[in-house]
Amino acid sequence: MFFFRSTIGLFPALVLSIIGTLFCSAQTVPPLPTATQSSSTPSVLSGVVLNAVTGSPVYRALVQVNGRAMLTDHEGRFEFDQFTSSGSVSLEVRKPGFYFGGEGGGSSRTLRVEQMGTPIILRMRPEALITGTVTAPDHSPLPRTMVSALRSIYNQSGHHMVPMGQGLTNAHGEFRITVPAGDYRVQTNFSPRLAGSGQAILPVAYPADPDGLLHIPGGTEQRLELHPAVSQSYPVKLKIETGEERGFPSLLAKTSDGSILPVRVTRAAEAGSGEMRVELPPGTFTLIGYSNRGSTMEYGEASITVGDGEEAGLVMQLSPVPPIPLQIVADSEATSDKALPTAQQLGIFLENIQSVRMNPFPSAAAQRQNNQESALHAAPGTYKLVSRSSGQWFVKAASYGTTDLLRNTMTVTWGAASAPIVVTVSDRTGGLQGTTAMKGTTQPAWIYAIPSEAASVPFYEGHSGADGTFRFPYLPPGSYQVIAFEDRAYDNLADSKIVGAYATYIHGATIHVGETATVNLEAVPDAEMRP
């Protein structure tokens, strides 16, 4: 059980944990001087650094360009005089407490010479802050407990929960984590032995709904009070029988509500014996063991009840997971006489559609077998087939028996032999090109082409050049929704509700075989993206 209290408000940019970078756009700033820039004449490069959320100036941000650096003044302004460039430059801004477009780490923005004649605006997004306390059910603080913040990210390879920050509670059970703005799950992990006792801290997460997420805007603080259960932990004798000659399998324990506990070995196995000791809280569990070496995978399950009695023990047998063969065939209308792409070139994988929090096997990628054929090794679960964009070839159809895998899911059961997945590819593509701009000024942006029909690729992603032009040379024929963002988007753009919030920026495009459609896009400004 746990409770949640939210505090929203801009906090000072004093947090020094992670340094962020810039997000810029070439827009005119009236208060700043203008200059004429040529390829050989020294001039002035000037601009202002603004908070992307509030629009206020960012003071003492470090601006770097062509080996020169300076700090912004109280109005967020900077100016490099005697500036010369023969083409484009890489410009970077750093400031503790800020991120580049919601991302951590450093990055730079390329400016063309014609963009340097007028002042530029550089936007930085403030970090978000997660604070709170971790206490036992009796409200006593739990020190030295790890709290993790996992961010929900969608991209062309599916849905991921990516660790973005973690913190260890102090003596009072308090924690503090700085993260980029985004959708999060905050959780404590399973700790088999609490420091100085024989008790275990059971995992707890916010939100409690396995599919729920906490949205944290930049420049805000979210305070959580987490109350994980604490119980005695007990040793379990475990023997693993496996055909693998070397290596050690990964171990997980699935609880009655479907959540997953990582299992830590407290005493290593004797050489060749396969015996070990693990720690578990009381309850009934399904222990899962697996070993994935790419071309082979072993998997096993065993049920056990842990209680106050004698030391429990069990034997787990790991067996090879039957591979799911992949057959790549050409569409009857394909025109290329080149070799068909491999499953690896197509980036084919099975994405597990179960709850990310309760899913230890998020995906199964195509692997080349010892016989040089491609196959998938998937643990038990329900999957959908996904691929990436791969040059002139695309996945036109995919079937598993009578199941259409572009429209339906497939279920993998433990130990069952599998029929092949037949993937039909085609090279009959079209193209998409255009420009991106903001308020009538050409500007680089992220472009997303979202298929309207069932497809193995959820959306196609690209970035326009310094001159604002972009091109997707190979797209499957059909209708698309096309949209551009000033910043990279991490939401599920395959969800019509999410894309619908930007309806005024969406352009429809129809791709015909052998033809290139053109769309000119006004990018969604960073300030209008979901904070």
pLDDT digit string, tens, across residues 31-85:
544 444 444 444 788 999 998 888 899 999 999 888 889 999 999 999 998 777 6
User: Quick one: pLDDT at residue 165?
Assistant: 92
Is residue 13 over pLDDT 70?
A: no
Contacts of 174 by beta carbon, 8 Å cutoff, 6+ apart: 131, 132, 133, 141
User: Quick one: pLDDT at residue 14?
Assistant: 31
C-beta separation of 149 from 215 below 8 A: no
Summarize the confidence of residues 263-282 as an average pLDDT: 71
Whether the pTM exceeds 0.85: the reply is: no
Own/partner long-range contacts of 335-341 (Cβ < 8 Å, ≥24 apart): 335/427, 335/428, 336/392, 336/393, 336/427, 340/393, 340/425, 341/390, 341/391, 341/393, 341/425
Question: Closest Cα partner for 265 from 241, 310, 235?
Answer: 235
Summarize the confidence of residues 213-226 as an average pLDDT: 93
Which of 396 and 82 is assigned the larger pLDDT? Answer: 396
Which of 1 and 510 is assigned the larger pLDDT? Answer: 510
Summarize the confidence of residues 274-297 as an average pLDDT: 82
User: Quick one: pLDDT at residue 197?
Assistant: 58
Summarize the confidence of residues 353-369 as an average pLDDT: 74
Alpha carbons 242 and 316: distance in angstroms, whole number: 9
User: Quick one: pLDDT at residue 206?
Assistant: 93
Is residue 18 over pLDDT 60?
A: no
Is residue 417 over pLDDT 70?
A: no
What's phi and psi for 186, nearest 5 deg? -110, 130
Contacts of 32 by beta carbon, 8 Å cutoff, 6+ apart: 46, 47, 48, 77, 79, 119
Summarize the confidence of residues 215-219 as an average pLDDT: 89
Summarize the confidence of residues 404-417 as an average pLDDT: 86
The full set of domains in the chain, from first to last, is 19-126 (2.60.40.1120), 131-231 (2.60.40.1120), 233-320 (2.60.40.1120), 324-418 (no CATH), 430-528 (2.60.40.10)
Q: How many CB atoms lie within 10 A of CB 8?
A: 10
User: Quick one: pLDDT at residue 101?
Assistant: 52
User: Quick one: pLDDT at residue 100?
Assistant: 63
**Percentage of residues of the chain with pLDDT beyond 70:** 82
Summarize the confidence of residues 487-493 as an average pLDDT: 87
User: Quick one: pLDDT at residue 306?
Assistant: 87
Alpha carbons 47 and 24: distance in angstroms, whole number: 10
239-252 per-position pLDDT tens digit: 888 776 556 788 88
User: Quick one: pLDDT at residue 461?
Assistant: 93
For the chain, the average pLDDT equals 82
Summarize the confidence of residues 337-349 as an average pLDDT: 89
